[in-house]
Amino acid sequence: MSDTESDADEKQVRTDGTGIVAPDDETPTWSERKQRSDGLSRLTYEYFERSRREDQDLRQESDYVERDVLGFPTWPHEIIRNLSIASFFVGIVLFLAATMPPHIGNPANPSSTPAIILPDWYLYWSFGLLKLGPLNPELAVLGGQKLTADRTYGVLANVVVVGIIAMVPFLNK
């Protein structure tokens, strides 16, 4: 391919609807797309060219001055792309779930209790806070009695920890 041919190809890509990418009223039907010999690569190329052309048209028509951002707008380009990728992986998971059933172990014995009962690893901190007895002071005013149960202080300690973590995004500077 010579330099003049590549220049001619670059000049064919226009944003006024007369270039390689068909305008909306000339969009091929699904049956016409199936008859194409170029396949998915051509369809992908047309998609990105069309989205680039639409973005340029919107920028030219708009009186809003925006910053130079490299990328496509979220709707419809990124949403459609993300939905197609998510659908693909959901399809793979459904296919694997349908073709490979899970291993089912022996049924549980309700009459036997394990010796050590522990929560999952991500709840160890909360489990530890519930077991802290010294958090609950014995007040001399009440004759050495506790104001509330130890579990209440463990729950309040969990609320404090989760509250601090929840406040982090709001503590900007």
Span 139-161, pLDDT tens digits = 656 676 777 777 777 788 889 99
User: Which of the 8 DSSP states describes residue 110?
Assistant: T
Q: Do 94 and 144 lie in a common domain?
A: no
SS3 17: coil
Residue in this structure with the two tokens 């340029």, named with its chain if needed? 56
Q: Do 59 and 137 lie in a common domain?
A: no
Report whether pLDDT(48) > 70: yes
For residue 84, the model assigns a pLDDT of 92
Whether residue 112 is contained in a domain is answered as: no
pLDDT in tens, 58-82: 777 766 666 666 666 777 888 888 9
* Residue 146, beta-bridge partner list: 138
Note the helical H segments in the chain. Answer: 3-12, 30-34, 40-61, 79-99, 124-130, 150-167
Q: Do 84 and 145 lie in a common domain?
A: no
Report which of residues 121 and 46 the model is more confident about: 121
Whether residue 1 is contained in a domain is answered as: no
Can you tell me the distance from the alpha carbon of 44 to that of 41, in angstroms, rounded to the nearest whole number? Answer: 5
pTM of the model: 0.34
Report whether pLDDT(85) > 90: yes
For residue 2, the model assigns a pLDDT of 54
CA atoms within 13 A on the CB side of 142: 8
User: Which of the 8 DSSP states describes residue 146?
Assistant: B
For residue 164, the model assigns a pLDDT of 93
Full domain range(s) for residue 70: 8-99
